Structure 1
Amino acid sequence: MAVHTPHRKSGYALYSQVAVLVLSLGACGSNNDNNNGDNNPEPVPEPGLVSCADTASCASNPPLEIGGERPAQVEIPSNYDLNTRYPLVIVLHGYGVTGSIESLYLGLDSRVDDKQVVLVKPDGTPNLAGTRFWNATPACCAKVAAAEDNSGEDYTQIDDVAYLRGLIEEAAATYSIDTGRITLFGHSNGGFLALRMVCEAADYVTAVISLAGSTFADAASCAPASLPVSVLLLHGTLDETIAYAGDEILGEAFPGAQETAMRFAGLGGCDDSNPAQLGTADVVNSLPGEETSIIGYTDCQPGIDVELWTIVDGPHIPLPWVPAAIDNFVDWLLDHPRPN
């Protein structure tokens, strides 16, 4: 069981129940038309990131596992074609689960064909108790992992940013990747890491969604943030694990959703002082009506969007999702390539 602050009930234990549910039900399908590279703006290739498509060296039947000693499972479209450049989607799981379970929970596997993407599902490092985690920020979750297994291990030495950068490079060298659309979808601990990648790997990453995640307590730690990245934050107001208003874990603070959104709006060159109301959406089937309110920041750098989707009365692990909402989230990622 994960260690957490005494006054806050942990949502990590719920993942075992969610895993059983998603494995038994499977992911919701999508009936939307394909959303492939031909239907999106022509992206700008990332500096220093070369795809095998650039050198005509992609294999027609590539391996479905990359990552070497830290393997990641990969899904490619059933009609995979070397003449197509596919957006890359990397799913980053929450504390204590795996990339495959998180992907099923979010319904991403079933959208590989519909959305014409390459999906990579890495796993965090297991602590000595076997619990997988990411070393994202001081609050989440290397310190939690060490406290859980009571081993005295210093898990803060794990460099998950370097691991993900290497995984992106290997994916680009292995699959026909559109290097102008390198996207992340992270949940909880994975949401923290997704946002850290905006800070430290903006030369690779082009768009990020963070569900129930947060960022560094000290805004100055988010560096170098060398290029603007589109960010969508999705967070429930009744999250009892990563509080919507911010809190601390084992003495390490993290900012709330609104503060986090404002910071990334600033990094995107937006006017962070007066976000605009963008309406409401029905995202979670178990909550009544259009329970999610959406704000967006204006005057961002060209091609950049930063949005905060607040799930009113939403928990740490929203369930079940409205299928169209997941379609919209994946579309949002794909519709935000690196600007020209």
Structure 2
Amino acid sequence: MRPRAVIGLALMVALSQAAAAEVADPAGPGRHELNHQGIARSYVVRLPANPPAGARLPLVLVLHGGGGDAASAEKMTGFTDKGRREGFIVVYPEGSGRFANRLLTWNAGHCCGQAMQRRVDDVGFFRTLIDRLVADYPVDARRVYATGISNGGMMSHRLGIELPDKLAAIAPVVATLFGDEKRPAQGVSALMINGALDASVPAAGGAPGGRFPDSWDGTPALPSTAQGRFWAEANGCAASPETIAQGPVQRARYRCPAGRDVELLLVADNPHAWPGGVPGSRLGATPSTAINATDEIWAFFKAHAR
């Protein structure tokens, strides 16, 4: 990797912050490893409090941003507490990188870092991981969901496109599409959340900005609205959404077939951050408080099953 790219990935931490075996987790029990294509990949499992005996539970995969890890995703989103209260399993998978357990990224096609450059098979990793989780935990295979921030949000798009047989819905946050994505084999409900103040993944599209442009491959991003159009077409929805202004939040909903919803939120005062969450680090951008992305995403997810 070029030196500038390494520096860029380090700064991304501030911005976004097969057999399984449990390994040491500084945050407590729950960290596991999965060997995929000869590489040990980590993931952290958080179970709900007092789940009903014999119940099959929803599973939410929460993907960290470029340069982040499971701990940063857990801290930023608050999904662990949400899962414990609402009764679903949360899993924080970790990407790969040049260094062990840091500067981790996902291969979302045109972003980011080492995973993109080495063409890491992250789609295959997630297929194997979901199968492992269904085997090891009381997961309802019809209610598996993926969300993520930034590079993790881009990876959520890719998983929706390539694993529609595994996922019921996706929710990319401050993420984007690039225009060369293939139409998925079947529809997947999608909720997208972007920030109008985002300098790293601009809502208007174009070249990446912020502190880590070298971690992309140079392909310009589409405007955030293109995400809605892509999933509306994939799901057989109406061509244009109904738009509602709710204070600083513009909410665009497409008319879609039952069970295949598409919604896009643009938060006027949100930078490259998880709305309603916390910064990924001391230098991370301050999220908007206009909405709580975790609450919005779970409300969307629990309304959909595959």
| Partner in structure 1 of residue 42 of structure 2 | 71
Residue 263, structure 1, aligned to residue 210, structure 2 = no
Q: Is the 8 A contact 1:207 1:230 kept in 2?
A: yes
Partner SS state of residue 192, structure 2:
strand
| Greater C-alpha radius of gyration | 1
Q: How far is 1:94 from its partner?
A: 0.4
Partner SS state of residue 277, structure 1:
strand
| Partner in structure 2 of residue 332 of structure 1 | 300
Equivalent in 277, 282, 291 of residue 243 of structure 2: 277
Structure 1 unaligned segments of length 5 or more: list them: 5-9, 20-61, 147-153, 281-289
Structural mapping, 1:156-195, within 5 Å? 156-195=118-157
Q: Is the 8 A contact 2:10 2:103 kept in 1?
A: no
Partner SS state of residue 202, structure 2:
coil
Q: Distance in 2 between matches of 1:99 and 1:334?
A: 23
Q: How far is 1:96 from its partner?
A: 0.6
Q: Is the 8 A contact 2:228 2:263 kept in 1?
A: yes
Equivalent in 246, 259, 275 of residue 303 of structure 1: 259
| Partner in structure 2 of residue 313 of structure 1 | 269
Query: Alpha carbons of 1:304 and 1:293: their partners in 2 closer, same or farther (altered >3 Å)?
Result: same
Amino acid at match of 1:307: E
Q: Distance in 1 between matches of 2:31 and 2:45?
A: 5
- Matched pairs, number: 267
Q: How far is 1:163 from its partner?
A: 0.5
**Percent of counterpart pairs with the same letter?**
28
Q: Is the 8 A contact 2:30 2:46 kept in 1?
A: no
| Partner in structure 2 of residue 251 of structure 1 | 218
| TM-score scaled by length of structure 1 | 0.72
| Partner in structure 1 of residue 187 of structure 2 | 228
Q: Is the 8 A contact 1:232 1:307 kept in 2?
A: yes
Residue 204, structure 1, aligned to residue 176, structure 2 = no
Residue 293, structure 1, aligned to residue 261, structure 2 = no
| TM-score scaled by length of structure 2 | 0.79
| Partner in structure 1 of residue 107 of structure 2 | 135
Q: Distance in 2 between matches of 1:14 and 1:157?
A: 20
Query: Alpha carbons of 1:113 and 1:2: their partners in 2 closer, same or farther (altered >3 Å)?
Result: farther
Q: How far is 1:253 from its partner?
A: 2.2
Q: Distance in 2 between matches of 1:270 and 1:3?
A: 42
